Copies of this chain bind each other. A is one copy, B any other.
Amino acid sequence: MEEPRGRGRHRSLEAEASILKATLYLLERKPLRKVSSDAIAQRAGVSKATIYKWWPNKTLVALDAFLAGITERVAIPDTGSAEQDFTQQLQALVAFYLSPMGKIFSQFIAEGQSDPDFLSLFRERFLYTRRDAARIMWQRGVERGEVCPEIDPEIVMDLMYGPVIFRLLVGHGPLSEEEAATIVRTLFKGLRKSGHNQLGETLGEASEPQRS
């Protein structure tokens, strides 16, 4: 199992861990932009050169620190009900965003706005993982006949996560597990008044009077 680890002195796992830990510590206290690489180095008891040897810039150190800080795996609830699954997952997500990690998450989105490459990396290393989980839940719902199979799962996920992240980033409305539940419930139910026939383009096919 021990892969032969090359010849020279090995990369100090201690140093790496120390860097990530220090970075996380600082990120939990102030925004990425105000965390200097010097501060990280100093707090980690490490030379700046060591940091820049392994990471091309401060932002990517932060990303690794962030990812390393996420211990819990993304749980994929399986309650038997898609709506409940999503509710649980979105609530977990909200809990995450309300933790210090949420602030850090926002920093990455922010950073991404002036660094497309980083944004792309962030999507791949963080977001897509989460979306894969959601996709599975949606698929289950489709198979159980609970949800409308014609709907693009990507849209579904954005309808679900979008509002939460919007509130996280903009801070214009409350963010809580209760709100998360409301979002999912509203989403599943739709906005239309029950018993009200839609007037729009989709006559008949999507009419409400369920309860056959």
Q: Is the CB of A114 within 8 A of B110?
A: yes
Q: Is the CB of B186 within 8 A of A155?
A: yes
Contact of A80 with B159 at beta-carbon distance under 8 Å, contacts A148-B194, A196-B145 already known: no
Q: Which residues of B contact A191 (CB under 8 A)?
A: 82, 147-148, 151, 156, 159, 187-188, 190
Q: Is the CB of A119 within 8 A of B171?
A: yes
Closest to A33 in B: B114
- Size bin of chain A's contact surface: 35 or more
Q: Is the CB of A201 within 8 A of B84?
A: yes
CB distance from A75 to the nearest CB of B (A): 18
A205 at the interface (CB under 8 A from B): yes
| Contact residues, A157-204 vs B (CB, 8 A) | 158-159, 161-167, 169-173, 179, 182-183, 185-202
CB distance from A125 to the nearest CB of B (A): 12
Q: Is the CB of B190 within 8 A of A187?
A: yes
Q: Is the CB of B127 within 8 A of A172?
A: yes
30 pairs across A/B with beta carbons < 8 Å?
A31-B113, A32-B114, A81-B198, A81-B200, A109-B170, A112-B170, A112-B171, A123-B171, A131-B172, A147-B193, A148-B194, A155-B163, A155-B186, A156-B191, A158-B173, A162-B163, A162-B164, A162-B166, A162-B167, A165-B169, A187-B190, A188-B192, A189-B190, A189-B198, A189-B202, A189-B208, A190-B192, A194-B207, A194-B209, A196-B210
